[in-house]
Amino acid sequence: MAAGWGFVVARGFFVMAQVRARYENGSLTPLEPLELEEGAEVTVWVDGARVNSEEIVYKGLKGRAARRLAHRDMTESRRRAQAAVPPEEWAKWPADFSKNKKHYLYGHPKEVE
């Protein structure tokens, strides 16, 4: 996953967000609050994990071919999700969201430049 924040907005709700977590004793613990229902299932992408590219298997493919197909599928999914949000809704999105995400998500004070 690239550094920074990724998000998708659908009808005013966040359906994807990048959250830092710590891995200890076989479990991931978020380092910031999450607004999830108890027992909610989530998908986790791990930044910094070391994987031999020849061990990657995706949709029956292995190695580099699997990595290319997975990347293409993620890019297409992101494009479709962004296209589902009307341009006027994107225009309402704060220009400083990536810098002040905790302010917009959790009410923390805004960072000052």
Global pTM value = 0.36
1-34 per-position pLDDT tens digit: 333 444 444 444 555 677 888 888 888 888 888 8
Burial class of 18 by CB neighbour count within 10 A (0 to 12, 13 to 18, 19+) = middle
For 24, the token pair is 């200890």
Report the pLDDT value the prediction gives residue 3, as an integer from 0 to 100: 39
Q: Indicate the pLDDT class of residue 52, thresholds 50, 70 and 90.
A: low
Tens digit of pLDDT for each residue in 62-93? 777 887 888 888 888 888 888 888 888 888 88
Nearest C-alpha neighbor of 80 from the set 3, 12, 18, 10: 10
Which amino acid is residue 7, in one-letter code? F
Q: What are the helix (H) ranges across 14-100?
A: 63-83, 87-91
